[in-house]
Amino acid sequence: MLQVYLVRHGETEWNVAHRIQGQSDSPLTEIGRRQALLVAQRVQSESITHVITSDLGRTRETAEIIAKACGCEVILEPRLREINMGILENRELSSLTQEEESWRKSLVDGTPNGRIPEGESMNEVCSRMRAALESCLDLPTGSRPLLVSHGMALVSLIFSILGLPANSERRLRLRNCSISRVDYQDSPWLASGWIVETAGDITHLNMPALDELQG
């Protein structure tokens, strides 16, 4: 059985400012760095062998803190990037027009093929996220990888494993530096292949953590 840990990046300055990030970037806050350290302490005993991360700055910084504790190198994987939020990147939520807000909400309210102009759909994000996860099956036997990615991207991946459309109504909260785990296994009581063991665990955090709908 292959166990893969999924971690959302730590809190960023734009999370706090309620500014849309997408594939633009914002540095971690001091709280975000502390959150990443708490993840590192939580997984230090899990024999992590690979720390694989989105190549955006906020995930790289989170991954570097975790990798240092686990004694791993950081491996960059662009397919783990956040959804491209198109023309709304770098915008504060409070500045959106009614039409712009409808574009944004189309990514979380179940709208078929919802997208922001010049951005990605949840299905497109899910396709590359799933490919990144499947590549973990090529790691050496006994590997235990940890992937660092983003809220919307990770939700699309977990939805796909559960057999839900990537653009389903958003009913899963993944807070900053939450930990999820998916396993590739063959069980008589579960469907063969990928299953969700845990999703959105924040019991390792000793401070409040934002989700992407809060910032």
CATH of domain 2-201: 3.40.50.1240
DSSP state, residue 43:
H
Q: Are 32 and 39 in contact (CB under 8 A)?
A: no
Question: What pLDDT does residue 88 have?
Answer: 98
Q: What pLDDT, on the 0 to 100 scale, is given for residue 155?
A: 98
What pLDDT sits at residue 190?
Answer: 94
pLDDT for the residue 197: 97
Q: What are the residue numbers of the active site?
A: 9, 82
C-alpha 22/C-alpha 56 separation (Å) is 10
SS3 category, 134: helix
- The per-residue pLDDT for 137 is 98
Backbone angles phi, psi at 168, to 5 degrees: -60, 160
Is 152 annotated in a binding site? The answer is yes
The residues of the chain scoring below 70 in pLDDT are 213-215
**Element spanning 201, H or E:** strand 193-201
Q: Is 11 annotated in some ligand binding site?
A: yes
Residue 90 labeled ligand binder: no
The answer to the question of whether 98 is labelled as a binding residue is: no
**What is the CB-side half-sphere exposure of residue 176 using CA atoms within 13 A?**
30
Please name which of 51, 76, 53, 58 lies closest in space to residue 22, comparing C-alpha atoms.
Answer: 58
14 is in an annotated binding site: yes
| pLDDT score, position 211 | 80
